[in-house]
Structure 1
Amino acid sequence: MENGRENPEPMWKIIVVAAIAAGVQFGWALQLSLLTPYVQTLGVPHAWAAFIWLCGPISGLLVQPIVGYSSDNCTSRYRRRRPFIAGGAFSVVIAVFFIGFAKDIGYRSGDSLDGKTKPRAVALFVIGFWILDVANNMLQGPCRALLADMSGNNHKRMRVANGWFSFFMAVGNVLGYAAGSYSNLHKLFPFTKTTACDVYCANLKTCFLIDIILLLSITMTAITVVKETPRSNELVEMKEKSGVPFIGELISAFKSLKKPMWILLLVTCLNWIAWFPFLLYDTDWVGKEIYGGKVDGNKDEKKLYDIGVRTGALGLMINSIILGFASLGIEHVGRLLGGVKNLWGGVNFVLAIGLALTVWASKMAQSWRAEHATQLMDGPPHNIKAFALSIFALLGIPLAITFSIPFALASIYCSTSGGGQGLLLGVLNISIVVLQMFISVVSGPLDAAFGGGNLPAFVLGSIMSAVSAILAIVALPNPPPQQLSLNPVFSDAMVIKSSFSDSFSQFLWESSSFQLQQASDGGTIALDWLTSSDVSRGTYEMNHAISKDDTTPLVVVVPGLTSDSASAYIKHLAFGMAKHGWNVVVSNHRGLGGVSITSDCFYNAGWTEDVRVVLDYLHLRYPNAPLFVIGTSIGANILVKYLGEDREKVPLAGAVAICSPWDLLIGDRFICRRLVQKLYDRALTIGLQGYAKLHEPQYSRLANWEGIKKSRSIRDFDNFATCLVAKYETVDAYYRRCSSSSYVQNASVPLLCISALDDPVCTREAIPWDECRANKNIVLATLQHGGHLAFFEGIRASRLWWVRATEEFLDHLHCSPYMHVQKTENSDQQLSLESTIDQGPFVNVAEDGMVAAVGNEHAQNNIVEDASGLRNSQPKNCDDGVSTSEQNKHLTASKSDVILSATQVSEQSSNLQDVKSFDVISPWKRFLNHLSHQNGKSMWLLVYIAIITSWPIVGSALRIFSRKKLRNVSPAASQRR
């Protein structure tokens, strides 16, 4: 690592450093809310006030890169970041003295109290203002770099650290704006009111004195408590030998920027064009446009302006409260929306709307003043003031993202490219300040050209925010996944740090365990573990090993296409099973889960060797633990194919297949039919291309890399990649040989298959109804609604129904005395399959051989038995001594609690005189069918689910539509040209 730190610091230390932002932002809040009106009281015209703010962008342009570079290379005995943080805090003290006492010193030096302009006070104010901006940049850059250093190259920890930094910025804003809106604060320090300094000036002076106390106390605590890790000697020697000066490093940093960083700079640049006018003139806007006051007007107009400024400070305080709460939810909402870039793009649209609403609010206030000329001193009515304050509140949401996501992405891109954190954050700051300089120069003349108000700059910001939103969604790439550096030889018992539980969104875990399993061909399989004790003890670290004689059931999860243990639905499933008291291991596909490809074999829809290797290893290692497998999507197809290939030889007690594609050839034709299927096809293809990009050296050697990059569908990718790597003659041959529908009739263990009839990816036309009916070990549950793995339930769609159904099924198997009895009789006998074409959910066969599907209302099982049969058939106690009532939360939820339940279960004839494994699952099947008849449909919740699940489709559609255009305007493309 660039900073020499291998493990992240404890979270409490990160929070202490992030708290410095409260002191910094307290001063910024005073600047943004009070200094623009204050500088006009010194006699500086509104049109020229913006030029004073040029010191902020200019100091940021020069100071942050220099400070970042210097802190990256600092060899002080006080370490790298802390000297700059301490120096910045001391500089703030000097700056605040010049700003707060500018009028007093100017008056003592000869400024007239009656003069419209106070030149000496203005000069002192400008000097203090510049020093304050330099000091703030000295503080913020090293603070963020220190947070990145303390995160230990952990992307999740970097995002969380920047989220805390954003939260404390909100705290500082709230305190600063609250202090600025209180008109009698000067009474706390009576000496602040003097002959030259009126009440407004005395309040400002008092606020800055409080800022000094707050900032110094927090900074001293942070630099005392946190001990930086020394730089590695190798890096120091390398830097000394290179001898490249700062300018050379800066130019080199720009030249070495990759395309993602260039796009990040562009989006950040446009985003701050939108923010800077509002942050500069927000309180001035309330004082002028909303209250109708004037800085240089008569006494009444000045009073209205002063009241409006304080109301604006109140709005900024509300804005900061919303900012604080929003900062704590960034990680969770980002995952819900499919990534931080979608979140950033979405809130930029919110920013555009908020800035546009300022025009509406201003026109409302102007109309009211025209109609109530005699009531102006009362201020605008409550509805207009509430409207203006609500705009401040609304903009708190995008501001939280602006203060965290760009800096977190820059730190992540830096950690993956090996650059210096401080220098790269300085480069990001350049993209912010360059456009701030532009706004500072043009906003004053622009506003003056349209009558002297603030609305023209706000409208320009609204347009730029919408542009940045579009670029963030369609052009900005998601952060690269973290990968591990692998050695050529691995031990089966090798355990290292994993991002599996650390990225678990619902739970504050530090780490789980991560095992690398070696295959016979040299390939490496990543196994992510989560044990029941990890969840029950609340200490989420694998400091203990599972005993070889452990009898706790072991559940193996096989993820879907390009999914791994970091996927949300896999984490939800793993935690649910572990919370249930079982041990869980996610068998990641090759090249996923944080490992590299170490052989010429890649996984595909029919690659069962990895599952076989993992299950044989686990069965040999833990012979007394009942072994179950859950496969999802492509993982379900691989699982069913494995069960059919190995038949009674599988070391399993039961299995579950969720949303299996069944027949890949039928699925290939189905996914090209309509627009929505084509969008899913394109989205999945982009995922496969991203997977191929991770392993470009291998694919470039073994497959058609140019064809992979140009692939527009899954079939294209399989043609240019899968068939060449796996040695299939054609794509159709690959699909025919790897379809699990040809193997399902040979499954010899209890198998639950769950599919949705409205699945947009895996069509119901491919479901092997007859084969499942003929095999007495199979429960086939088809649902009217559910999409692809989207069986949500609960008012917030926070749970997955299929996870609960899976727990019930496996739990029932585990509690059965016939758990290990498999159907071995007549295993080679071909079962006669009766046609169910008139009973299933289809009506006819089309000319192309496809089955046309309609509804499944007439395909309901006619046998409806009371659910008590399930409970009566279960033994009172499981083998491990835990009562069934304690292990099972039976499927007794009311129809209001269950959104999506099974609406069809395959009826199977059985000989009840013989005790076989299908006797165990028959009561469960009847109960599932009984639940399906009781379940009602909540259409508005289905609409809600549709909105949630359609977001990735919308993003993919935008990406498809604009990829070529954006490629032409990207900075990286411009450089190549």
Structure 2
Amino acid sequence: MPQPSSWVGTPKIKGSSESIRMALLTASLIGIQFTWGIEMTYCTPYLLELGLTKSKVSLVWIAGPLSGLIMQPVVGIIADRSKSKWGRRRPFMVVGAAIVSLSLLVLGWTAEIVGLFVAADGEVHKASTILLAVLSIYAVDFAINAVQASTRSLIVDTLPIPKQQLGSAWASRMVAVGHLVGYGAGALDLGSIFGTRLGDTQFKQLTVVAATALCLSVGITCFAVTERILISTGDEEEQEQSAWQMMKKLLVTSTNLPPRISAICWVQFWCWIGWFPFLFYSTTWVGEIYLRYSAPVEARTAPDTLGTIGRVGSLSLIVFSLITFLGSIILPWIIKAPSDVSKPDFTPRPPAAIAPLVLEFEKYKPSLLTAWKWSHLLFAGSMILTPWVGSLRSATALVAICGIPWALACWAPFTFMGIEINRLSTSASTSSYHTVAARGSIELEPDGGVLRIHHNPDDAEGSTGELAGVYLGILNLYTTLPQFIGTFISWVVFSVLEPGKSPELAGEGEEGVHGTEGPNGIAVCLFIGAVCSAVAAYATHRLGKVQ
């Protein structure tokens, strides 16, 4: 019989109202999303400016899925067993934020740092600069995944069960705010605001701003939240075995999924092959369209071409983020929730004055499944046009339209997965499993305020939390694997169509620069993503027929 886990203290959040407490708890997500936004907006053109070819840049972005696949479960397991007096999550958040901030500053000043050890001119300096930049990106990706995993876990640890949904809603709002602030900062000419105090290029200034924003937002959350402290995890050998068993179960379960969960995962798989090139290359694509077709001559020959591409691309993503934010607020009002679909004969009684209008509107509200299917087709229809775009206005419009399907992509799969998890959990608890309350107990001992949680490990499969952990972990697997496939597709496309250096970001007359004639490599990647999104629409249609 394993010993119970022991705790000291009670989780608390500073603040005079619930809204303030929720904002403080989730504030760190603003800095996290700010950093992701800067990376996705500027790092691709930055590496191209350093002289890396697009095919090699595509291989750099394997850092994203690789870091998510490794860091989130590893940090989660280590943090779960941490007995730090500062709590289980906050130390990882602070250390991770410090590593991210330092790596961002190194990324901004790679040439200057390499110049301290290598002569400024020559191929050795150039190769060393590229190597340091790539290593910095990997450090940013791995460290920020640790911060993100700890932040999400802190929300779960701190809030009681009835407040979990509210915490998730506030987390979504902070993510949207972080995107908007990040893209807004990228669209501004920071040189005219700060001069050269933060650096002599837009990219350098943004790395300073992003590092500051991340440290500030993480600091606010860590200051406002008090965690309970883990004293003992009970039988340490049993705990290690449980962690291994959990990982083994995740892999085994992924090959034998319930039919509807399997269908949801395959929708997510095809969907994310489509979204990967959009999220990592859309800014560069918009900037390239601008420089090729719409920019005046002085913009094409400006010394900070990277800043120009970043600002133009950020403007399109600001519109994209605004539409996503508005869509996440409006769409739930005009789409029939799955619970309404399961009770088609039930309609809430509206006020008499507007009853006819409301009842007529209810007849035409689409289901979430239908809206999700059409969102894939909307994304596919937009991105399939990218190889023929020849103006900044058209490129911005196509990117902006994708805000609607992105809102549904962030909402629908988790809703359907939650329904299936609850359905399986209810079925399990009423058939072959006992409830947690029957075999577990929670005791608060007055001496020292030690909280001891007694839980029989045999309850694992009967617990909704266990089912959620396993199946959401599998959903994350079906989100991560397509990014590796997207990276391989991008590498092949760029190797064939644009094997040399990017003409927009290479020096004039530089050797190895390819021309601008022929199809744009990023546009072809977006086109392939559109085809995969059409497959996702078909998979969503099939989901509606799976029982």
Report the CA distance shift for 1:300/1:289 in structure 2 as closer, same or farther (over 3 A). Answer: same
CA contact (8 A) 1:349 1:469 kept: yes
- Aligned partner letter, 1:78: W
- Aligned partner letter, 1:215: L
> How far did residue 56 of structure 1 move?
1.4
CA contact (8 A) 1:82 1:223 kept: yes
What is the aligned partner in structure 2 of residue 915 from structure 1?
none
Answer yes or no: is 1:445 the counterpart of 2:464.
Answer: no
CA contact (8 A) 1:315 1:393 kept: yes
Answer yes or no: is 1:37 the counterpart of 2:30.
Answer: no
Q: Report matched runs for 1:142-157 at 5 Å.
A: 142-154=150-162, 157=163
TM-score by length of 1: 0.41
What is the aligned partner in structure 2 of residue 310 from structure 1?
311
Point out the structure with max Rg over C-alpha: 1
Report the CA distance shift for 1:3/1:34 in structure 2 as closer, same or farther (over 3 A). Answer: farther
- Aligned partner letter, 1:119: A
Deviation sequence 1:483-515 (CA, Å, 0-9, x none): xxxxxxxxxxxxxxxxxxxxxxxxxxxxxxxxx
Q: Distance in 1 between matches of 2:410 and 2:194?
A: 32
Q: Distance in 1 between matches of 2:27 and 2:412?
A: 18
What is the aligned partner in structure 1 of residue 444 from structure 2?
none
> How far did residue 284 of structure 1 move?
1.7
- Aligned partner letter, 1:139: V
What is the aligned partner in structure 2 of residue 95 from structure 1?
103
Q: Distance in 2 between matches of 1:403 and 1:278?
A: 15
Q: Distance in 2 between matches of 1:469 and 1:94?
A: 42
Q: Secondary structure at the match of 2:85?
A: coil
Report the CA distance shift for 1:351/1:242 in structure 2 as closer, same or farther (over 3 A). Answer: same
Answer yes or no: is 1:277 the counterpart of 2:285.
Answer: no
Q: Distance in 2 between matches of 1:363 and 1:222?
A: 46
Q: Secondary structure at the match of 2:161?
A: coil
Q: Distance in 1 between matches of 2:222 and 2:416?
A: 25
Instruction: Considering fraction of residues, name the structure with more helix.
Output: 2
- Aligned residue among 175, 178, 181 for 1:172: 178
What is the aligned partner in structure 2 of residue 219 from structure 1?
218
Q: Distance in 1 between matches of 2:340 and 2:148?
A: 26
Report the CA distance shift for 1:172/1:300 in structure 2 as closer, same or farther (over 3 A). Answer: closer
- Aligned residue among 352, 375, 381 for 1:350: 375
Q: Distance in 2 between matches of 1:188 and 1:94?
A: 21
> How far did residue 281 of structure 1 move?
1.0
Q: Distance in 1 between matches of 2:82 and 2:334?
A: 38
Q: Secondary structure at the match of 1:237?
A: coil
Deviation sequence 1:926-966 (CA, Å, 0-9, x none): xxxxxxxxxxxxxxxxxxxxxxxxxxxxxxxx52xxx3xxx
Answer yes or no: is 1:183 the counterpart of 2:172.
Answer: no
Report the CA distance shift for 1:88/1:347 in structure 2 as closer, same or farther (over 3 A). Answer: farther
Report the CA distance shift for 1:134/1:405 in structure 2 as closer, same or farther (over 3 A). Answer: farther
State how many pairs are aligned.
448
Answer yes or no: is 1:250 the counterpart of 2:237.
Answer: no
Deviation sequence 1:573-629 (CA, Å, 0-9, x none): xxxxxxxxxxxxxxxxxxxxxxxxxxxxxxxxxxxxxxxxxxxxxxxxxxxxxxxxx
Q: Report matched runs for 1:45-56 at 5 Å.
A: 45-56=53-64
Q: Distance in 2 between matches of 1:267 and 1:152?
A: 32
CA contact (8 A) 2:26 2:174 kept: yes
CA contact (8 A) 1:141 1:425 kept: no
Answer yes or no: is 1:13 the counterpart of 2:14.
Answer: no
Deviation sequence 1:106-144 (CA, Å, 0-9, x none): 233325457698111111111110111012211222222
Structure 1 residue runs of 5 or longer lacking an equivalent are 194-198, 366-379, 476-957, 968-977
> How far did residue 343 of structure 1 move?
3.2
**Share of identical aligned residues, percent?**
23
Q: Distance in 2 between matches of 1:389 and 1:403?
A: 21
Q: Distance in 1 between matches of 2:309 and 2:274?
A: 23
- Aligned partner letter, 2:385: W
Deviation sequence 1:517-573 (CA, Å, 0-9, x none): xxxxxxxxxxxxxxxxxxxxxxxxxxxxxxxxxxxxxxxxxxxxxxxxxxxxxxxxx
Report the CA distance shift for 1:351/1:409 in structure 2 as closer, same or farther (over 3 A). Answer: closer
Q: Secondary structure at the match of 1:141?
A: helix
- Aligned partner letter, 2:81: N
CA contact (8 A) 2:323 2:400 kept: yes
Q: Distance in 2 between matches of 1:237 and 1:339?
A: 45
TM-score by length of 2: 0.71
> How far did residue 168 of structure 1 move?
1.6
What is the aligned partner in structure 2 of residue 325 from structure 1?
326
Q: Secondary structure at the match of 1:89?
A: helix
Q: Distance in 1 between matches of 2:171 and 2:272?
A: 19
> How far did residue 230 of structure 1 move?
5.4
Q: Distance in 2 between matches of 1:285 and 1:116?
A: 30
Deviation sequence 1:318-365 (CA, Å, 0-9, x none): 112222233345654555576799537624633442343244355241
- Aligned partner letter, 2:206: C
Report the CA distance shift for 1:91/1:417 in structure 2 as closer, same or farther (over 3 A). Answer: same
Q: Secondary structure at the match of 2:521?
A: coil
CA contact (8 A) 2:274 2:533 kept: yes
CA contact (8 A) 2:336 2:367 kept: no
CA contact (8 A) 1:181 1:311 kept: yes
Deviation sequence 1:667-718 (CA, Å, 0-9, x none): xxxxxxxxxxxxxxxxxxxxxxxxxxxxxxxxxxxxxxxxxxxxxxxxxxxx
- Aligned partner letter, 1:227: T
What is the aligned partner in structure 2 of residue 392 from structure 1?
399
> How far did residue 285 of structure 1 move?
1.2
> How far did residue 315 of structure 1 move?
0.6
What is the aligned partner in structure 2 of residue 462 from structure 1?
530
> How far did residue 229 of structure 1 move?
4.6
Alignment RMSD (CA, Å): 3.9
Q: Distance in 2 between matches of 1:473 and 1:338?
A: 19
What is the aligned partner in structure 2 of residue 647 from structure 1?
none
> How far did residue 317 of structure 1 move?
1.3
Report the CA distance shift for 1:411/1:143 in structure 2 as closer, same or farther (over 3 A). Answer: farther
CA contact (8 A) 1:356 1:459 kept: no
What is the aligned partner in structure 1 of residue 146 from structure 2?
138
Q: Secondary structure at the match of 2:314?
A: helix
Q: Secondary structure at the match of 1:44?
A: coil
What is the aligned partner in structure 1 of residue 287 from structure 2?
287
Q: Distance in 2 between matches of 1:86 and 1:72?
A: 16
> How far did residue 269 of structure 1 move?
2.5
Q: Report matched runs for 1:741-890 at 5 Å.
A: none
CA contact (8 A) 2:65 2:484 kept: yes
What is the aligned partner in structure 1 of residue 477 from structure 2?
430
- Aligned partner letter, 1:440: T
> How far did residue 31 of structure 1 move?
0.8
CA contact (8 A) 1:32 1:280 kept: yes
> How far did residue 271 of structure 1 move?
2.1
- Aligned partner letter, 2:326: F
Report the CA distance shift for 1:8/1:86 in structure 2 as closer, same or farther (over 3 A). Answer: closer
Structure 2 residue runs of 5 or longer lacking an equivalent are 342-365, 426-462, 498-518
> How far did residue 278 of structure 1 move?
0.7
Q: Distance in 2 between matches of 1:283 and 1:174?
A: 14
Q: Distance in 1 between matches of 2:263 and 2:231?
A: 32
Q: Distance in 2 between matches of 1:119 and 1:282?
A: 26
Answer yes or no: is 1:76 the counterpart of 2:77.
Answer: no
